[in-house]
Amino acid sequence: MVTQTPAIGDSTDLRDQAARRAGLAVIGCYLLGALLVTWRLWADPASRIPAGNLTDADLFAWYLRYAAAAVSHGRLPDLVTSAMNAPAGVSMMWNTSLLLPGVLLAPVTLALGPQVSLTFMTTAGFAGSAAALFWVLRRWQVRTSAAALAGAVYGFSPALLTSAIGHYNLQLAILPPLIVDAGLRIACGAPEPLVTRRWASRVPAPLRGGIWLGVLVVAELFVSEELALITAITGLLLVAALAASRPRIALRRLGPAAAGVAVAASVGLALAGHALWTQFHGGLVQHGPLFPPDYYVNDVTGFVTPSSYLLLHTAGTAATAARYQGGATEYLAYLGWPLIIAVVLAAVACWTRPAGRAVAVTLVVLGVFSLGGHLLNGGTTDPAVTLPWHWLEEHQLLSSVLPDRLSIAVDGAAAVLLALGIDAARARIVPASRGAGRLVLAAAVLACVPLVPRPLAAASATPLPSGWSATFAALRLPAGARVLAVPVPTNLLTAVMRWQADTGQPDSIIGGYFIGPGAGGQAYLNGTGVRPTAWYLDQLWAAGLRPASPFATAALTAGLPVAGPGGPAPAGRAPSMTQVRADFAYWRPDVVVAVTRVGAPLCRYLTGLLGPPTTQNGDVIAWLRAKAR
């Protein structure tokens, strides 16, 4: 009997097929995990939002509707628009406007609504971010098991889990691993020190790599400029650390790397040059930090104190996390003692490798940067301890980066270092004992257990008022008609933005939740601020709500008093008629639309101000061609 030995090519094909099957299985597990984390949202994806951040959920729903409306008219979204904050308008480039996802998801938004698109984005953010890092590590020839664990650590990290509570632009962190990989391939070449030459192409590497890097960076710019900057900082730190490890190789790579970066910059300017020019030289240009320094920074204790969003926590740790000065949606630092210890051991295991040293150094530097300009420990800032970010945040470009959000890159670097450490340890142990190699992997998995998330808690979006769509159908407003809708939208009260996002009506609203230039061009929430008349109208609206009103949650979120069993809540002091006329003269509304009822304080005030209403449908009353008398 003759035994036929398989050809080397056949053996290679079998290994490739097995690797592909394993990769698909890992990605399938990521998708399953993402569905488990988001299942409460999928129970009713059109109206369920992550609990704890109503206003940001409304804001991002508005962005997706804005982009979808543009696509439905056969064009890209305008970069400066008066669809919000009429008449001054809003710069989409200075806001977290999700322009690329908004365009790509326009068919879903138009067919099923913006919240379905956001729920899809959240699920894709978990599974896609994990898969992206897994794919990159497999390209770096990290073993499948180690790469799979690292992908899960990054994609389902506490930083991304917390970002899922309304910060959709940050939680969709798919592109950063791909950008860092593309940048390293340009800077470091192949095969040393991270990647191997596996692509066969006639196109020179600097050109091919530069084009790919440029496209990825531009794509991230139109997802989140802040995350693009964080990714750039991470990539630069990695390259600098690698260059310090291999200075001679770095010098030889200087020319090709510069060529690749030049190509990437050219591609970036070609694709995003107009948008960046509009942002920094067009209308509504702003400057300066939006938030005070040393506020949205990581607390040192946050690295080891789990919040209630994680499966393993205690009432004490949850309470401590809830007291974080930046709020629950910015509590991003957590890694946990087991993972921190595992990462330290991983750094020791792979320290002799340039890649291991570079990632370890990058992780430490990013962690220090995330602490901000002065040390925050246990809720107390120590002004005597000045940290490196203090000098970096003075730069206009970096002033827009909140230091605590560097935790996304910290978690990614920790995941990569863990994978490299597992491979390094197993490379030493496995020849002597395969069982010991499996033990290393099992220990790493156990170290990551404290990061297991709980399913996201869900809440209901503010429901559409009865008669909203019928009112705008009856009014037959021309395109772009300016609408003063009450409650007037602000950063605290976004119900009208939700209703505009859900229905596409009206085209243009006065007020909104946005970042805009205030006095001297300084960046502020709500730009020049909320006008006195708008704030008084909002108080009247809340004061007249019924005790069981479905809009009470929105009012309470904004800090407005809501009517109780004893009757209407007291409203604030009314502005003078001079102020009211000045505000109406600035707004020049084509129509005033109020969500109220006949006899409510708001309806009485507006009738006295504007005369009898033009139309009433359900809970919506409108005054056409409104002018303060």
Which pLDDT does position 432 carry in this prediction? 55
- CB atoms near residue 195 (< 10 Å): 19
Q: What is the DSSP string of 374-434?
A: EEEETTEEEEEEE-THHHHTTSTTGGGS-GGGGHHHHHHHHHHHHHHHHHHHHHHHTTT-H
Which pLDDT does position 569 carry in this prediction? 66
CA–CA separation, 357 and 351 (whole Å): 5
Name the token pair of 119. 């729920």
Give me the residues paired with residue 377 across strands.
Answer: 380
DSSP 75: S
Name the token pair of 540. 């009247």
Which pLDDT does position 237 carry in this prediction? 97
Least Cα distance to 453 among 177, 23, 175, 40 occurs for 40
Least Cα distance to 469 among 497, 504, 512, 493 occurs for 504
The pairing of strands 515-517 and 523-525 is antiparallel
Contacts of 527 (CB under 8 A, 6+ apart): 85, 88, 514, 515, 516, 517, 518
Phi/psi region, residue 589 (left: phi>0; alpha: psi -120 to 50; beta: rest), is beta
Name the token pair of 498. 């939700």
Report whether pLDDT(584) > 90. yes
Which pLDDT does position 196 carry in this prediction? 38
Which pLDDT does position 195 carry in this prediction? 40
Which pLDDT does position 4 carry in this prediction? 53
CA–CA separation, 565 and 136 (whole Å): 59
233 or 428, which is more confident? 233
474-485 average pLDDT score: 94
User: How much is the pTM?
Assistant: 0.94
Name the token pair of 585. 């003269």
422-445 average pLDDT score: 82
Alpha-helical (H) ranges within 140-246 are: 144-155, 158-163, 168-171, 175-188, 205-221, 225-245
Name the token pair of 427. 């490379």
On whether the CB atoms of residues 68 and 114 are closer than 8 A, the answer is yes
Report whether pLDDT(40) > 60. yes
Contacts of 481 (CB under 8 A, 6+ apart): 506, 507, 508, 590, 591
On whether the CB atoms of residues 227 and 169 are closer than 8 A, the answer is yes
pLDDT, one tens digit per residue, over 320-371 is 999 999 999 999 999 999 999 999 999 999 999 989 999 999 999 999 999 9
pLDDT, one tens digit per residue, over 47-83 is 999 999 999 999 999 999 999 999 999 999 999 999 9
548-564 average pLDDT score: 85
pLDDT, one tens digit per residue, over 84-127 is 999 999 999 999 999 999 999 999 999 999 999 999 999 999 99
275-302 average pLDDT score: 93
Give me the residues paired with residue 380 across strands.
Answer: 377
Q: What is the largest CA-CA distance in the chain?
A: 105
Helix axis angle, 407-429 relative to 337-349, nearest 10°? Answer: 50
2-15 average pLDDT score: 59
CA–CA separation, 388 and 525 (whole Å): 27
Question: How much is the mean pLDDT over the chain?
Answer: 91
Q: What is the DSSP string of 476-504?
A: TPPTT-EEEEESPP-SS--HHHHHHHHH-
Which residue type does 522 have? Q
Name the token pair of 287. 């400057």
Phi, psi angles (nearest 5°) of residue 383: -65, -15
Give percent of the chain above pLDDT 70. Answer: 93
Which runs of E-coded beta strand occur in 452-575?
458-460, 482-486, 508-509, 515-517, 523-525
250-272 average pLDDT score: 92
186 or 201, which is more confident? 186
CB contact burial 321-358 (16+ within 10 A = b; e otherwise): beebebebbbbbbbbbebbeebbebbbebbeebbbbbb
DSSP 598: T
- CB atoms near residue 303 (< 10 Å): 20
pLDDT, one tens digit per residue, over 131-169 is 999 999 999 999 999 999 999 999 999 999 999 999 999
374-387 average pLDDT score: 95
On whether the CB atoms of residues 485 and 471 are closer than 8 A, the answer is no
Sign (positive or negative) of CA dihedral 546, 548, 551, 556: positive
CA–CA separation, 299 and 77 (whole Å): 39
Helices then strands, each counted (H, E), the chain: 24, 13
pLDDT, one tens digit per residue, over 191-238 is 344 443 333 344 456 788 999 999 999 999 999 999 999 999 999 999
Report whether pLDDT(178) > 50. yes
pLDDT, one tens digit per residue, over 588-614 is 999 999 999 998 999 999 999 999 999
Helix axis angle, 495-503 relative to 54-72, nearest 10°? Answer: 30
Which pLDDT does position 10 carry in this prediction? 63
CA dihedral 321, 162, 110, 482 (to 10 degrees): 50
Taking 3-state DSSP, the helix, strand and coil percentages for the chain, each rounded to the nearest 5, stand at 55, 10, 35
410-426 average pLDDT score: 96
pLDDT, one tens digit per residue, over 271-287 is 999 999 999 998 899 98
CA–CA separation, 580 and 418 (whole Å): 61
Sign (positive or negative) of CA dihedral 603, 604, 607, 610: negative
